[in-house]
Chain A
Amino acid sequence: MKVRVHVTLKNGVLDPQGKAIGHSLNRLGFAEVGEVRQGKYIELELAETDKAKAKARLDEMCRKLLANTVIENYSIELVG
């Protein structure tokens, strides 16, 4: 099955890259853009058909490597 993982910075953690992107968009004339937060998108191919098992394994992968939970949140989406 295919899995999508989104890793984002926790609220309250400074995101200078997001800020720089926001400033650039404002400068390009996109005045409606307010706060920008940058994250990561990771796509995985998983040899597993059981959704509950896949979710549990992904949870472990996120905690061990894909995200640093000191500063980041993650969300897991099983595409099937």
Chain B
Amino acid sequence: MKAAVLVFPGSNREGDVAHALERVTGRRPQMVWHGAGDFDKADLIVIPGGFSYGDYLRCGAMAAQSPVMAEVKRRASQGVPVLAICNGFQIAAEAGLLPGVLMRNAHLKFVCHDVHLRVETSQSLFTSHYHGGQVIRVPVAHAEGNYFADEATLNRIEDRGQVAFRYCAPDGTVDGAKGSDANPNGSIRNIAGVYNEGKTVMGLMPHPENAIEVMFGGVDGRALFEGLVEALA
């Protein structure tokens, strides 16, 4: 699997996700600078975490309009899979690749700790190595992860199975209560990750790339990359 990792001024998790991809695929991904209007063919495009363009205007808003994102949108429309993590999720949402928007955390604090996620379905490129309803533990690190969409959009994405992950208690319970322990940021309906309609683009706030080594406290993120390798090899 050939992967491309985008790099914006202010990205800071591109090295982490490149490492995760290399560990699982044995190949170093190409790193693509934000000004690039074109880049080598890739089986997977990753938009990494960080603070692209200093989060100016709105987080992800400037990056969403960069030359490289025009090319990513073009490729995504042709079905090239896109994995958008944390700031990448904010960028993909601002670019219109994914429904909804990420707002300031409801309690206004930066959150940086492990969370539990319920995998909503195994029927996707990204989650085929998990099973539906499985609970995984991965870290979050963000101040703007409060997922929001209007009621009509939420109902539509729920009906189409576009919710990828929900914040949950360790036993998998999703109580939906804002500000509860299981919901680190106030996300509506506890949504931590979503797909586009074709399920070829996935965005999530947590960092699966930081949960691939036992030494760093957990390996629950590894199956996401392993599933992608199998699907896209």
> What is the number of residues of chain B that contact chain A, defined by CB distance less than 8 Å?
19
Indicate if A56 sits at the interface (CB-CB under 8 A). no
Is A13 touching B106 in the complex (CB atoms < 8 A)? Answer: no
Per-residue contact bits, chain B 171-203, to A (CB 8 Å; 1 contact, 0 not): 000000000000000100000000000000000
Give the residue of B62, B100, B106, B107 whose beta carbon is less than 8 angstroms from that of A70. Answer: B100
Is A16 touching B58 in the complex (CB atoms < 8 A)? Answer: no
Interchain nearest-CB distance for A43 vs B (Å):
14
Indicate if A66 sits at the interface (CB-CB under 8 A). yes
A63-80 residues at the B interface, CB under 8 angstroms: 64-66, 68, 70-71
Is B57 touching A14 in the complex (CB atoms < 8 A)? Answer: no
Interchain nearest-CB distance for B216 vs A (Å):
31
Interchain nearest-CB distance for B190 vs A (Å):
15
Is A17 touching B104 in the complex (CB atoms < 8 A)? Answer: yes
Contacts of A65 in B (CB 8 A): 57, 61-62, 65
User: Which B residues fall within an 8 A CB radius of A?
Assistant: 57-58, 61-62, 65, 94, 100-101, 103-108, 146, 148-150, 186
User: Which A residues fall within an 8 A CB radius of B?
Assistant: 13-14, 16-17, 20, 64-66, 68, 70-71
16 CB contacts below 8 A, A to B, read A13-B148, A14-B148, A16-B104, A17-B104, A20-B108, A64-B65, A65-B57, A65-B61, A65-B65, A68-B58, A68-B101, A70-B101, A70-B149, A70-B150, A71-B101, A71-B148
Known: A14-B186, A71-B148. 18 other contacts (CB 8 A): A13-B103, A13-B148, A14-B106, A14-B148, A16-B104, A16-B105, A16-B186, A17-B104, A17-B108, A64-B65, A65-B57, A65-B65, A66-B57, A68-B101, A70-B100, A70-B101, A70-B148, A70-B150
